[in-house]
């Protein structure tokens, strides 16, 4: 069982005591799990148009002359490079012709779509929606 699944299961069991799940606690556990996974180099991704996210992509941060670049590894040995911006856009594609579309999905979490691939990355969203 993964840490994320284990934490969610424990919270579900605890929430089951009064018959109602604590959605706030579940959301916090998921956010902690996502941040810890990213800190450990793993992120959630949905590749090639998949509907469900799996935590099977890697992320590595690199510094270049143009700034910080995230190298997002895909399970099929491919990768994408995402340039971190300082103008409020979050990230942009650092290579290729496909643009990155960034959406805030939660406080501290963005979803980046490039082509048919989607990645969930921790971010400083400042509480924006």
Q: Which residues of the chain have pLDDT under 70?
A: 1-39, 77, 125-129
Half-sphere exposure in the Cβ direction for 18 (13 Å, CA):
4
Distance CA(121)–CA(109), nearest Å, equals: 6
How is residue 99 annotated by DSSP? Answer: P
pLDDT tens figures, 55-81: 989 999 999 888 899 999 887 768 899
Q: Which run of H or of E encompasses 51?
A: none
Burial of 125 (0-12, 13-18, 19+ CB in 10 A): middle
Q: Kindly report the average pLDDT of the chain as a whole number.
A: 75
């Amino acid at each position: 069982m993964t840490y994320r699944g284990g934490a969610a299961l424990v919270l579900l069991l605890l929430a089951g005591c009064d018959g109602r799940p604590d959605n706030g606690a579940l959301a916090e556990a998921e956010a902690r799990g996502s941040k810890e996974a990213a800190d450990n180099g793993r992120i959630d991704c949905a590749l090639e148009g998949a509907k469900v996210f799996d935590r099977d992509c890697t992320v590595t941060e690199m510094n270049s002359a143009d700034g910080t670049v995230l190298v997002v590894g895909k399970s099929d040995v491919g990768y994408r490079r995402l340039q971190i911006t300082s103008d409020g856009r979050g990230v942009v594609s650092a290579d290729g012709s496909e643009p990155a579309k960034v959406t805030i999905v939660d406080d501290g979490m963005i979803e980046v779509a490039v082509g048919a691939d989607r990645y969930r990355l921790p971010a400083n969203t400042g509480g924006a929606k």
